[in-house]
């Protein structure tokens, strides 16, 4: 479980990097919509990083567990909404929801967390 959670977290970060890198493909100029599009990638990167922190330090940091779970829930709901509104393909839905939804589920499971304490 821990390895799967790690892989999903890194996958979310990678998806965010690809999202930001693809901004020039969809927007020829730096506009407000282009910034909003890129900010979606930044949100994914930060959520993936939060999952990595939660996996490592969450056992001793209740607030981190709560915030990470909330971030995963919000990102999953937002991904569902974005898929519906944009008419995303089945493959896009499976990939994105597989990553963010999977991380959300694993962030709830104690078996997906590391059993070490910070500093050891």
35 domain residue, yes or no? yes
* pTM, to two decimals: 0.88
Among residues 73, 72, 77, 64, the alpha carbon closest in space to that of 12 is found at 72
117 domain residue, yes or no? no
Q: Is the pLDDT of residue 101 over 90?
A: yes
- What is the distance between the alpha carbons of residues 67 and 72, in angstroms, rounded to a whole number? 9
Structural domain boundaries enclosing 61: 2-112
Band of pLDDT at residue 10, cut at 50, 70 and 90: very high
Band of pLDDT at residue 115, cut at 50, 70 and 90: low
pLDDT for residue 28: 95
27 domain residue, yes or no? yes
119 domain residue, yes or no? no
Q: How many domains does the chain have?
A: 1
62 domain residue, yes or no? yes
């Amino acid at each position: 479980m821990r390895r799967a959670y790690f892989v999903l977290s890194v996958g979310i970060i990678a998806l965010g990097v690809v999202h930001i890198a693809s901004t020039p493909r969809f927007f020829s100029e730096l506009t407000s919509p282009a910034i909003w599009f890129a900010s979606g990638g930044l949100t994914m990167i930060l959520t993936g990083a939060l999952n990595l922190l939660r996996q490592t330090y969450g056992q001793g940091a209740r607030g981190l567990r709560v915030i990470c779970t909330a971030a995963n829930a919000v990102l999953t709901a937002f991904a569902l909404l974005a898929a519906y509104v944009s008419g995303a393909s089945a493959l896009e839905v499976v990939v994105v929801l597989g990553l963010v939804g999977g991380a959300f589920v694993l962030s709830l499971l104690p078996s997906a967390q590391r059993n070490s304490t910070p500093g050891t």
